[in-house]
Chain A
Amino acid sequence: MKEWLSSPLFGIALCIAAFAVGVYIQKLLKTPLANPLAIAIALVIAVLNTFNISFEDFNQGGQIITMLLAPATAVLALSVYNQLDVLKKNFLPTVAGCLTGSVTAIVSVLLMCRFFGLDQTLTASLLPKSVTTPIAVVVSEQHGGLASITVAAVVITGVFGTIFAPLLTRLFRIGNPVATGVATGTSSHMGGTTAAIQMGEVEGAMSSIAIGIAGLITTLIALFL
C-alpha cells in the first residue's frame, strides 16, 4: 500500500505542491520574509513527519530535483553573457570584493567557532559555508569536516541569503547593483543568487560571477589553513 510513497513521483509532487503553497502565501502577504522556498521546506518536513514518511522515500523524487541544480547553474552563464559590458567595466572591483568577502567569511566562522568552543570537526564543516555546495564539501573534507553538516550549513546560508539579500541591500544602503550582486553571490552562493536575479539583471549576473570567483578564492585560501 505504501509503494507509491517510494515512487519518484511522490517526492516531486510533494515539492511542487509545497512550493505552490509557498508562492501563494507570498502573494497573499507580499513580504520577502514569507519566502516560498522556506515555506516549502517547512511544509515538506511537516508532511514527512506527520505521516511518518522516511527521507529516503521522499528523496527518490527529491534527488531528481537536486540533479537539475547543475544545468540551472550552467544557465547562469547566459545572464553573465548578457551583462558582459558591466563585468568588463567592473572586473577589478568584483575580484576585490570576492577576495575580502571570502576572507571575511572564513575568518568570521573561525572566530565564532572559537568563541562557542566548537570542536575541530564542526569548525571544518562550517568553514566553507559561503561557497557553493560541491566546492564546500571538498574544502570541508580536506580539513576533517563532515560533508553532511557542511551541506546543511551551506543550505542554511543559501536560504538565509534568498530571504534576506534584498533586506540587507536596503539595510546597508548599498544602492549599487554591481555591489549588491557581488555581495549576494559571495556571501550566499546559489541561494542568494536566486534572489539577486529577482532584483535585476545586473544583480543576477554579478552574483553568478561571484559564485565562481569566491569559490575559487576560498579553495585557494583553504589550501593554506
Chain B
Amino acid sequence: MFIPIPFPSSVISMVLLFLLLLSKRVESRQLIDSSNFLLRNMSFLFIPAGVGIVQVFDKMKGHLFQIFTICIVSTILTFAVTAYTVKGAIWLRERIRSRGEEAC
C-alpha cells in the first residue's frame, strides 16, 4: 500500500524479519528450530505449484517445446552472466585494493 511499485508480501516480510534481527528485537536462536525445518523442506512446498502447470498445458499447446526451451536456455545464460559478473567485480575490487596498497 505504501510502496509505489508492486512488491510481493513474502519479500517484504523477509525484509521486515531481517530488520528485526538487525535491531536485536528478535534473536536468531529463537528462530533456529522452525527456520531449519522450513529451509530444509522448502522444495516440498513447490509441489502443488508444479502440479498446477498441467492446468495451463491447454493454453500453451503448440508452444510447449518453445516455452521449455526459452525457460531453460535463458536460465543457463542468466546463471553464467551473473556468476561471471560477480567474479569479475570481486577480481576488480581486489586489484584496485592491491594497487591502493602499492601506492601507499
By Cβ-Cβ distance, the 6 closest A-B pairs, closest first, are: A134-B8, A62-B48, A101-B82, A93-B89, A41-B50, A183-B83
Interface size class of B (residues with CB under 8 A): 35 or more
| Distance, CA A149 to CA B35, complexed state (A) | 31
Assess the A37–B82 pair: CB atoms within 8 A.
no
> Which residues in window 156-213 of A have CB below 8 A to B?
156-162, 164-165, 168-169, 172, 174, 176, 178-180, 182-184, 186-188, 190-191, 193-194, 197, 204, 208, 210-212
**In the complex the two chains form, what is the Cα distance from A45 to B57 in whole Å?**
12
Give bound CA distance, A54 to B95, whole Å.
60
Residue of B6, B10, B56, B79 near A74 (CB, 8 A) is B10
Interface size on A, residues (CB 8 A): 111
Interface of B (DSSP majority class): helix
Which positions in B face A, CB cutoff 8 Å? Answer: 5-11, 13-18, 21-22, 28, 31, 34-35, 38-40, 42-56, 59-60, 63, 66-87, 89-90, 93
Select one of B18, B71, B83 contacting A156, CB under 8 A.
B71
In Å, the complex CA distance between A182 and B59 comes to: 33
Residue of B nearest to A186 (CB): B82
**Of B39, B40, B74, B87, the contact of A174 (CB 8 Å cutoff):** B87
- Verify if A151 is at the interface (C-beta below 8 Å from B): yes
- The smallest C-beta distance from A43 to any residue of chain B, in angstroms, reads 9
Minimal beta-carbon separation of B89 from chain A (angstroms): 4
Q: Is B8 touching A126 in the complex (CB atoms < 8 A)? A: no
17 additional A-B residue pairs with CB within 8 Å, beyond A101-B78, A168-B80: A37-B46, A62-B47, A75-B34, A76-B14, A78-B28, A81-B28, A90-B90, A104-B77, A112-B74, A129-B74, A134-B10, A135-B11, A157-B74, A172-B79, A178-B86, A183-B82, A197-B40
